[in-house]
Amino acid sequence: MRVGELESIILYVADLDTAKRFYADLLGLPIIFQDHIMVLLRTGGGRVVLHRNDKGHDERGIFPAGNGAAGAAIRLGVDDPDAWEEEITRKGFPVLWKAQEASWGRFVVAGDPDGRPVVLAKMNQPGRARGSSVSKTGQ
């Protein structure tokens, strides 16, 4: 028995409309479905579910997942982290970390409406980490 691929990430949000504005309008994630409780967005082969943290769909109530950042971050691939830094600022959302280099690529970190860090990163090609002298064959 095996677990399949990651189907979706569920983010419990304080304000569904503001979260939708960040993930759909700013980041451009396409909306697959929405109602008054949740918004389902497509991300490549997976999905992000924005779910109200104060209301469930039925009498079972709210899933006990907590609120806010809760020790999690989301990383999405982008072509130009520097351009995203400008767009995040222009749309009025916080930039938690300005665009910068790392050994694995270049990235910027935005804060979503619930304080979760959202990393927008252009990853290095495999075997091409900055400062690495290891070739693709490991020699």
Average pLDDT estimate for 89-103: 94
Residue 11 has pLDDT above 60, yes or no: yes
User: What is the distance between the alpha carbons of residues 47 and 93, in angstroms, rounded to a whole number?
Assistant: 22
Residue 6 has pLDDT above 80, yes or no: no
Three-state SS for 16-53 is: HHHHHHHHHHHCCCCEEEECCCEEEEEECCEEEEEEEC
- The lowest-confidence range among 8-12, 58-62, 101-105 is 58-62
Where does the chain hold its CATH 3.10.180.10 domain(s)? Answer: 1-56, 72-132
Q: pLDDT by residue (tens digit) across 19-63?
A: 999 999 999 999 999 999 899 999 988 899 998 888 877 676 666
Q: pLDDT by residue (tens digit) across 114-139?
A: 888 899 999 887 765 555 444 344 44
Counting beta carbons within 10 angstroms of the beta carbon of residue 133, is it exposed (0 to 12), middle (13 to 18) or buried (19 or more)? exposed
Q: Cα 101 vs. chain centroid, distance in angstroms?
A: 19
Q: Is 3.10.180.10 the CATH number for 72-132?
A: yes
* pTM attached to this predicted model: 0.75
Q: Is 3.10.180.10 the CATH number for 1-56?
A: yes
**What pLDDT shows up at residue 63?**
63
Tokens, residue 67: 């609120």
Q: Among 95, 93, 98, 99, which residue's Cα sits nearest to residue 113?
A: 93
